[in-house]
């Protein structure tokens, strides 16, 4: 039996946590032969800690053979101790009357503290995925607050957007989702993101040529993928949780176990390519292998794409400026 991997999950008693933890413990994220220890963080409030206790009782009641241990805590340094993987899900939601700027600053406090705790106690190879919004900028803040850890190990979740785009494209093109290759969602996890299927294929056939509908791309596909989160809230009265947890599992599984040569979208610190300033956490196409991701390089960026990529970049730069004084 392999030795257990320590997986830290913050916001463990929340909606996404409830859809995520059981799948991690059953082996869906790291493989059916990989034991895990779950290290769960929640707010110190009595209600949050009681809810976390309840989740841990249910995890026990599943009798997962791969669940080698559990820790529930309100202390980030306990949750992140020797963590190999950290899923930062817990974040401050937008309250009534709260401006976007206030939301950014409230979350900046959380992610500077959590970045510092990771820096202090996590495995030196910890792979960090930030799910809590604003995910890209929260990942940037955590990365900047953890100077002793490799910057490349801080990532943000664009995979839900990638999966949403896959599903919509499959339906429009009339091809099975599993046949689609080479799709990407550039930029910020926000309505400014740019889902791009110019390079996408199904069984070797170009989907841009097959769909051949620039109007659908500009006026339906791009805005619908970008606003899908809001449409889920409108329909369900709650934000996406099961699909978000599913995307987090996809992201980490591919990062750790490899994407078998396929493109996947990850929000990663820019190396300066594609005109994205170094360090900005931006959704790009990557191929993963041996626990590392590698950007897909040299893609042609046409004028339509450049405009959209710059728009989502401008938003990320504005967010970065909004928190610069804290870092």
164 in contact with ligand NAI (CB under 6 A)? no
Catalytic residue list: 189
48 in contact with ligand NAI (CB under 6 A)? yes
163 in contact with ligand NAI (CB under 6 A)? no
- Return the number of other C-beta atoms located less than 10 Å from residue 211's C-beta: 18
Residue 178, marked binder: no
Contact with ligand NAI (CB under 6 A): which of 131, 170, 268, 286? 131
Binding letters toward ligand NAI, positions 276-305, x by CB under 6 A: ------------------------------
Which sign does the torsion angle of CA 76, 9, 234, 236 carry? negative
Binding letters toward ligand NAI, positions 180-209, x by CB under 6 A: ---------x--------------------
Half-sphere exposure in the Cβ direction for 127 (13 Å, CA): 21
86 in contact with ligand NAI (CB under 6 A)? no
Contact with ligand NAI (CB under 6 A): which of 38, 66, 91, 185? 91
The smaller minimum CB distance to ligand NAI, of residues 10 and 288, is found at 10
The smaller minimum CB distance to ligand NAI, of residues 91 and 202, is found at 91
157 in contact with ligand NAI (CB under 6 A)? yes
The smaller minimum CB distance to ligand NAI, of residues 130 and 170, is found at 130
Residue 27, marked binder: no
Q: Which stretch binds ligand NAI (CB under 6 A): 41-49, 119-127, 215-223, 319-327?
A: 41-49
Binding letters toward ligand NAI, positions 226-245, x by CB under 6 A: -------------xxx--x-
Contact with ligand NAI (CB under 6 A): which of 15, 34, 167, 206? 15
Binding residues for NAD(+), by number, are 11-17, 107, 114, 131-133
Q: Which residues of this chain interact with ligand NAI, rule CB under 6 A?
A: 10-11, 13-17, 41-43, 48, 89-93, 110, 131-133, 135, 157, 160, 189, 239-241, 244
């Amino acid at each position: 039996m392999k030795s257990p991997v320590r997986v830290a999950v913050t916001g463990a008693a929340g909606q996404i946590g409830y859809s995520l933890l059981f799948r991690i413990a059953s082996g869906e994220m790291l493989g059916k032969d990989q034991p895990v220890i779950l290290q769960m963080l929640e707010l110190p409030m009595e209600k949050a800690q009681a809810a976390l206790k309840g989740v841990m009782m249910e995890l026990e009641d599943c009798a997962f053979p791969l669940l080698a241990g559990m820790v529930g805590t309100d202390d980030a340094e306990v949750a992140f101790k020797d963590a190999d993987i950290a899923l930062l899900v817990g974040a401050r939601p937008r309250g009534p009357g709260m401006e976007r700027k206030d939301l950014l600053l409230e979350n900046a406090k959380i992610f500077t503290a959590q970045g510092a705790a990771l820096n202090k106690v996590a495995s030196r190879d910890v792979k960090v995925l930030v799910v809590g919004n604003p995910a890209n900028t929260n990942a940037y803040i955590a990365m900047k607050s953890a100077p002793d850890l490799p910057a490349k190990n801080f990532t943000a979740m664009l995979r839900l957007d990638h999966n949403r785009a896959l599903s919509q494209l499959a339906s429009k093109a009339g091809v099975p989702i599993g046949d689609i290759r080479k799709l990407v969602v550039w930029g910020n996890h926000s309505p400014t993101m740019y889902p791009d299927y110019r390079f996408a294929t199904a069984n070797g056939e170009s989907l841009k040529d097959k769909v051949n509908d620039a109007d659908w791309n500009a006026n339906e596909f791009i805005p619908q993928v970008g606003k899908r989160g809001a449409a889920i809230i409108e329909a369900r009265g709650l934000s996406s949780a099961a699909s978000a947890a599913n995307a987090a599992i996809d992201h980490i599984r591919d990062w750790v176990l490899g994407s078998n040569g396929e493109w996947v979208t990850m929000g990663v610190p820019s190396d300066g390519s594609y005109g994205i300033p170094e360090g900005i956490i931006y959704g790009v196409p990557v191929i993963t292998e041996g626990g590392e991701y590698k950007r897909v390089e040299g893609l042609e960026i046409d004028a339509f794409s450049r405009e959209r990529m710059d728009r989502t970049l401008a938003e990320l730069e504005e967010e970065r400026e909004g928190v610069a004084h804290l870092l």
